[in-house]
Chain A
């Protein structure tokens, strides 16, 4: 009898601060499993965002730095240009990438920087208390849209993968979800391809991961997973965009 699945070596043996059922823990584990499989733990530099994953460096057992709010692609660009032999990846949430950091991600993608961005989209601002994010869905109730998001006042949900896929600098853009074990395995393949692209020097890769936020969607963990599967995927279709 042998152990077939346990905590990856790139993950520190500490408990995370995330709420019960949060998708961040799953994405953290997938990244660590891929880094172990590719054998790049010594060369990898991660960049933690501002948001729920702000202290991701406490959970990852490789070099991680912190960037100002939304400036992960800019910091990743700098590190990759100074140390091109290192593997640089950015980990961002939807308030970080799609709201305050839109300029940085669009220009880093347009320059075709050889970096990997993991974008966790849970349709709400998690750390600050459940306010509306640009990726919040129409009619979704949040702390700042108590009557539901209305397109006349708040605009439409921002679809980052579609937006970036038209840029010639982007080499790989895919949207995946983590609402079931099958989709988690697909998400792992997508994130692995994004890292492999960087090792091969292909160019800018972004993987958008649809995740659940049980606390601020206002549902139990199992219902929030169903909500991602039924509601969120209709608005954000899965697939490879470039």
Chain B
């Protein structure tokens, strides 16, 4: 049996999120530098291009959907949902 998690108030709120195309990412880290909330960091694995792609990690639900990451991305790997 999986441990049953108590439902949180925050679970009902739909927060903005981004989706990253990890095979197209070249790991330039511009989105990491320009994210004002620090929600993006580098992934542990290496993709087909031989670089560490970026990872969207938003445990504290800080992302506001400002889309700075997608504006700065030179390779159009980021899609923003709000």
Query: Which applies to chain B's interface (DSSP): helix, strand, loop or mixed?
Result: loop
A221 to B72, CA, bound (A): 11
B61 in contact (CB, < 8 A): no
Interface residues on B, range: 20 to 34
A238 in contact (CB, < 8 A): no
* Most chain B C-beta atoms within 10 Å of own C-beta, residue among A1, A3, A20, A184: A20
A5 in contact (CB, < 8 A): yes
Among the listed B17, B24, B30, B65, which residue makes an inter-chain contact with A21, where contact means beta carbons less than 8 Å apart? Answer: B30
Q: Shortest CB–CB separation between residue A142 and chain B, in angstroms?
A: 22
B51 in contact (CB, < 8 A): yes
Contact A22 B74 (CB under 8 A): yes
A29 in contact (CB, < 8 A): yes
Which residues in A have their C-beta under 8 angstroms from that of B4? none
B46 in contact (CB, < 8 A): no
Which residues in B have their C-beta under 8 angstroms from that of A222? 29-30, 33
Interface residues of A (CB under 8 A from B): 1-7, 11, 15-16, 18-26, 29, 180-181, 184-185, 214, 220-222, 225
Ordered by A's residue number, 9 sampled pairs between the chains whose C-beta atoms are within 8 Å are: A1-B16, A3-B79, A6-B76, A7-B76, A7-B79, A25-B74, A25-B75, A221-B28, A221-B29
